[in-house]
Amino acid sequence: MSALSEVHLLSILAQEMNMRKAAERLFVSQPALSQRLQTIEKEWGTKLFIRSQKGLSLTPAGELVVQFANEMLVKEEKVRETISAMDSEVYGTLKIAVASIVGQNWLPQVLKEFVHKHPQAKISLVTGWSSEISKSLYEDQAHIGIVRGTPDWKGVKMHLFEDGLYLVDTVISRPEQVLETDRPFIQFKSDSNYYQEIQDWWMRNFQTSPKRTIIVDQIETCKQMTINGIGYAILPEITLNGIGEKISKIPLLDESGIPLKRDTWLIGYESAFQLKQVKAFIDVVKENIENFKL
Q: Locate the domains of the chain by residue range.
A: 4-85, 93-162+263-291, 163-259
- The CATH architecture of the domain made up of 93-162+263-291 is 3-Layer(aba) Sandwich (3.40)
Query: What mean pLDDT is reported for the chain?
Result: 89
- Between 19-33, 60-74, 88-102, 150-164, the lowest mean confidence (pLDDT) is in 88-102
Residue 46 CA to residue 154 CA, distance in Å, equals 45
Contacts of residue 118, defined as CB under 8 A and 6 or more positions apart, other chains included, come to: 89, 90, 277, 280
Per residue in 219-233, pLDDT (tens digit) is: 899 999 999 999 999
CATH 2.40.70.10 fits 163-259, yes or no: no
Per residue in 258-277, pLDDT (tens digit) is: 999 999 999 999 999 988 89
DSSP 213-273: EEEES-HHHHHHHHHTTS-EEEEEGGG-TT--TTSEEEEPB-TTSPBPEEEEEEEE-TTGG
Grade residue 1 by pLDDT with cuts at 50, 70 and 90: very low
Domains 4-85 and 93-162+263-291 in one fold: no
Q: Summarize the confidence of residues 27-54 as an average pLDDT.
A: 92
Q: Is the dihedral of CA 278, 282, 283, 288 positive or negative?
A: positive
pLDDT for 242: 77
Higher pLDDT, 245 or 32: 32
Domain 4-85 fold: Arc Repressor Mutant, subunit A (1.10.10)
Higher pLDDT, 194 or 222: 222
Grade residue 88 by pLDDT with cuts at 50, 70 and 90: low
pLDDT for 270: 92
What does DSSP assign to residue 88? S
pLDDT surpassing 60 at residue 2: no
Q: How many CB atoms lie within 10 A of CB 82?
A: 13
Residue 144 CA to residue 54 CA, distance in Å, equals 39
- Between 87-91, 162-166, 197-201, the lowest mean confidence (pLDDT) is in 87-91
pLDDT for 231: 95
